[in-house]
Amino acid sequence: MLTLPPLSLYIHIPWCVRKCPYCDFNSHAQQGELPQQQYVDALLADLTADLPYVQQRSLHSIFIGGGTPSLFDASQIARLLQGVRQRIPFSDDIEITMEANPGTLEHDDFAAYRKAGVTRVSMGVQSFATDKLNILGRIHGSDEAKKAAKALASAGYQSFNLDLMHGLPGQDLQQALSDIETAAALNPPHLSWYQLTIEPNTLFHSRPPQLPDDEALWQIYRSGQQRLAELGYRQYEISAYAKPGFECRHNRNYWEFGDYLGIGCGAHGKITLLPQQQLFRTVKVKHPKGYLAGNYLYEVNDIATDDLPLEYLMNRLRLMVPIPKAEFESRTGLAASLLDEGMQRGIDKGLVITHPDSWELTEKGHFFVNELLGEFC
């Protein structure tokens, strides 16, 4: 039976100092003074329009992403979070994450954002190698990143994350592992470590850099995965590693097919509506000009019943833990037996192990997720 899952909130702030050549997110280079107060007002109006989707739930987590949210003053972040809380109750242990870059803390320090209500910071370091930072178009240097991470550690946050990329242009195994060692020495409770991919509509797509070959990428990934485990970081998602108790609850809610409201330019949401037994996705207007004019909702798309098994698995298979059959039923409203044939084909290929109450990917299965997903298309 379909039940209401935990509810999260994603807030998108679309401005950056400049657009990175690999970035395909909805971000816009800052030109002049940002309309901070006007944009926060628009975010709260957007949220007000989405309140029927809350259905008496409290917020499990909030993620303020971008773009570069740390371009906004701490006072505006505080006003934003206060406005959210006035509209939707917070759970007692709510996780509130804000993305930041080492080179964009012009307005306030990390302590000011913590006072504003942020409980967790995700900082986009990407690399500690100067030549790699230059290739990636980052506006910070290695020393800046180390200084910012140390400031995070002393600012009283419940947790913080450092973002690292691997498979960078010209990167070898030693360089990739050096980034891991440098990051781990700063003792972040959480590390995101993900491979650079070339996405459409980016500068790298039109002018592709020379990336490591597949064999080198595989060696980097396996060696890095092993080293992170030795350093005490447990891999709980394809590109996320955490010390015990410091997993990102907001991202886990995405992968577990939970609900989330999305407000801000181009933000996406996923909603379960009861008693209608309906699941749908929302998309907000992408460009700041239209959004600030008061045009928030771009489209609403129902998730067709026939598409639900694949939609669920595309999210859930990112996690490194077994899939409870009861979770599939409560998040989709469908019988777990609908997955039996596809899972059996996965078992036959050595991708899946079945248990009475769950399915579990094998080690091979974690590396061939797309092959397993193909059994449900």
Q: What span, in angstroms and rounded, lies between the C-alpha atoms of 16 and 11?
A: 15
- pLDDT of 216 higher than 90: yes
pLDDT at 108: 63
How is residue 369 written in tokens?
A: 């997720």
Tokens 């994603």, located at residue:
10
For residues 136-158, give the mean pLDDT: 84
DSSP 319: B
pLDDT above 80 (res 22):
no
Which regions of the chain does DSSP assign to beta strands (E)? 7-13, 15-16, 28-29, 59-66, 90-100, 120-126, 159-166, 190-195, 234-237, 240-242, 259-264, 268-273, 278-284, 297-302, 323-324, 352-354, 358-361
Q: Which pair of tokens denotes residue 211?
A: 């990336």
Q: Are 309 and 372 in contact (CB under 8 A)?
A: no
CA distance 226 to 32: 45
Q: What is the pLDDT of residue 286?
A: 96
Residue 105 confidence (pLDDT): 58
Mean per-residue pLDDT over the chain, rounded = 93
Is pLDDT of 46 > 70? Answer: yes
CB-based burial of residue 337 (10 Å sphere; 0-12 exposed, 13-18 middle, 19+ buried)?
A: exposed
b/e sequence 277-296, b meaning 16+ C-beta within 10 Å: eebeebebbeebeebeeeeb
pLDDT value at residue 215: 95
Taking only the tens place, the pLDDT of each residue in 246-297 is: 999 999 999 999 999 999 999 999 999 999 999 999 999 999 999 999 999 9
Q: Is the dihedral of CA 249, 254, 258, 264 positive or negative?
A: positive
Q: Is the pLDDT of residue 106 over 90?
A: no
Please tell me the predicted confidence (pLDDT) of residue 104: 62
d(CA 239, CA 243): 14
d(CA 345, CA 359): 13
Q: What is the mean pLDDT of residues 291-317?
A: 97
Q: CB of 312 within 8 A of CB of 318?
A: no
CA distance 149 to 98: 14
- Whether residue 324 is preceded by a cis peptide bond, meaning omega within 30 degrees of 0, is no
Helices (H) and strands (E) in the chain, counts: 15, 17
